[in-house]
Chain A
Amino acid sequence: MIVEKIPKPPNPGGLEQLVLIAILRLGDKAYGVTIQTQIEERTCRPVATAAIYITLDRLAKKGYISSELGEPTPERGGRAKKYFKITALGEKALRDSLSLIAKMVGDLRPGLEGILGQ
């Protein structure tokens, strides 16, 4: 059986995908708190702040996101925000990863309805 080689750099994992999608959704307002809130609100699951930072660190090392320091605000105790943006490489990796899942699901969607409870 000939299988297409796995593209490099590696596809983002579960939380990495969620963080990338959250950054895409938030646009210019993507920083730690908003990313965490976005994921928690949409998935209805609590996510630890450290887990978000670990994932962001991993994504930055892979070159999927870039960051820049923002303005300090009083409710943060005068600390600056760190805004994140998705890079072209990150967009490609996310697209590849999601298309892989879509390919795997394929025509199984009617069968998955029971599992997903839809």
Chain B
Amino acid sequence: MGNSDTATVKVDAISKMGHILLLGAAFVFLVAMVVLAPVLILSTCLLWLLERKRVPDEKKLWHDGRSVQVLNKSGCPCHIVDRLSISPAHLRTLLHKSAQERRSMRLQRIDGGLYVNMNPPAGTIDALLNPLLPAISRDCFYGDLVEMHNTKILPKFISERGPLMGYFAAERWFRKQIFRSVLQLVWYRVQTLLFTEAAWQPPQFKK
């Protein structure tokens, strides 16, 4: 056997090895797909179901303008306080305690009235808003939304749908506003990045 024959055999062997490796990779990929895909789908469904079953924050608290009711994680009332008899300090303590327990508690009693203090949404949405609005504008923007929520939307929804459904509807309104605002701000930033100020100038007439 000459040198060229040895080289041909080596090339064939390498080619076969390549085929085997390729087939092996394809097999592993297929097995992974067959095994992992159902696992992923099932775990997603399970998470979705658990999320649906979990008592949302909104259900843990409601007020009807007269009393404040704090519900525990299973949805049972654990504190009911009459807003006419409770002292601001007591309510503050209660809310502070509840806030520690559940992270988000959004009720304030100020000047004899009840205000829902919507906190900026934590996590992804707030992280998205950070680069879109300067810090001062962002604070004022949240303030405007909270003011509208407290002075217009919440009283309107409560009078239309009752205390509980009104509170939830107002909460949904607030979340929707934040979501819409993020989309609009992202679109605005894209526009400002794509088009310079000069591009927005109306066409100049020629002599």
The chain A residues found within 8 Å of chain B, CB to CB, are 1-3, 5-6, 10, 31-33, 36, 48-51, 53-54, 57, 69, 72-82
Contact A77 B143 (CB under 8 A): yes
- A-B pair count, CB < 8 Å, reads 90
Question: How far is A33 from B150 in the complex, measured between Cα atoms in Å?
Answer: 12
Does B90 make an interface contact (CB < 8 A)? no
Contact of A73 among B147, B197, B205 (CB under 8 A): B147
**Which of B111, B181, B201 gathers the greatest number of chain A CB atoms within 10 Å?**
B181
Question: How far is A33 from B142 in the complex, measured between Cα atoms in Å?
Answer: 11
Residue of A nearest to B144 (CB): A32
Taking A33-B144, A76-B143, A79-B139 as known contacts, 19 extra A-B pairs with beta carbons closer than 8 A to each other, sorted by chain A number, are: A1-B205, A1-B207, A6-B201, A31-B144, A32-B140, A33-B147, A48-B184, A50-B185, A53-B137, A53-B181, A57-B137, A73-B147, A74-B108, A74-B110, A74-B111, A74-B115, A77-B117, A77-B146, A80-B139
Contact A75 B146 (CB under 8 A): yes
The chain B residues found within 8 Å of chain A, CB to CB, are 108, 110-111, 115, 117-119, 133, 136-137, 139-148, 150-151, 177, 180-182, 184-185, 188, 197, 200-202, 204-205, 207
Contact of B141 among A10, A53, A72, A73 (CB under 8 A): A53
Contact B142 A79 (CB under 8 A): yes
Contacts of A69 in B (CB 8 A): 136, 140
Q: Interface majority SS on A: helix, strand, loop or mixed? A: mixed
Question: How far is A74 from B204 in the complex, measured between Cα atoms in Å?
Answer: 50
Contact B147 A3 (CB under 8 A): no
Contacts of A81 in B (CB 8 A): 140, 143
